[in-house]
Amino acid sequence: MSLRLGDIAPDFTQDSTEGRLSFYDWAGDSWVVLFSHPKDYTPVCTTELGLVAKLKPEFEKRGVKVIGLSVDPADSHAGWAKDIEETQGQKLNFPLIADADRKVADLYGMIHPNANDTLTVRSVFVIDPNRKVRLTLTYPAATGRNFDELLRVIDSLQMTDKHKVATPGNWKQGDDVIIVPSVTNEQAKDLFPGGWTEHKPYLRTTKQPA
Ligand code: BEZ
């Protein structure tokens, strides 16, 4: 069964490019982006991994650790990592799980048999420090993911965890946000002293909280 939002992300121990790895120990109290790709030595995956390696400082700024996975063994990952560095101009700087026995892929529902019965699809799980799954995405093999969108969602998750706000469609850092409907106008006066705009009683926007 696939993981749903709010579920606890299962722990596992598996081989990786950084040796045997126990997921919870490795994650510590960070947020995690766990993402699978179909296969080593494939073009789209090569670009994705180079991109995530380049974006690692952006993930770190947000307290997020990144970790990749495919059902290829560790020696295959190691050889391919050299190609990633050569073609993407960026060394792999995060672990790639070598899930040759599909233990993690099965646990997280990363194999979709009607798409491909042996390879992992492009799954993404954003997991918070309480191990809760906060976002899932599934992309097809031929479509590389937009990792800027992942950073955007993480920004929204982290802010909406802290403040009684939600983010509108296409929101990005610095844009106005929405006051959640459960907050009364009386409460909003304390929470948002800078004021808000009431477009409708259920749609009130305010400046992004600091
Ligand atoms: C790729 O990463 O390029 C890829 C992987 C599996 C199927 C199609 C493309």
Which residue segments constitute the domains of the chain, with CATH numbers given? Answer: 13-144 (3.40.30.10), 163-206 (3.30.1020.10)
Smallest CA separation from ligand 1 atom 7, residue: 141
Question: Rounded mean pLDDT of 61-82?
Answer: 97
pLDDT in tens, 129-179: 999 999 999 999 999 999 999 999 999 999 999 999 999 999 999 999 999
Pairing of strands 64-70, 31-36: parallel
Residue 70: strand, helix, or coil: strand
pLDDT in tens, 108-141: 999 999 999 899 999 999 999 999 999 999 999 9
Check if 45 is active-site: yes
CA–centroid distance, residue 140 to ligand 1 (Å)? 9
Residue 95 has pLDDT above 90, yes or no: yes
Residue that has been written with the tokens 């696939």 in this structure: 2
Options 21, 27, 45, 53, the catalytic residue: 45
Q: To the nearest whole number, what is the mean pLDDT of the chain?
A: 97
* pLDDT value of residue 117: 87
Residue that has been written with the tokens 């798409």 in this structure: 115
Residue 99 has pLDDT above 70, yes or no: yes
* pLDDT value of residue 110: 96
Residue that has been written with the tokens 């459960």 in this structure: 182
CB 8 within 8 A of CB 91: no
Smallest CA separation from ligand 1 atom 6, residue: 141
CB 38 within 8 A of CB 73: no
CA–centroid distance, residue 59 to ligand 1 (Å)? 25
* pLDDT value of residue 1: 61
Q: pLDDT above 90 covers what percent of the chain?
A: 97
* pLDDT value of residue 144: 97
Q: pLDDT above 70 covers what percent of the chain?
A: 100
For a substitution probing ligand 1, which of 40, 41, 42, 69 has the most ligand atoms within 8 Å of its CB?
42
CA distance 90 to 28: 26
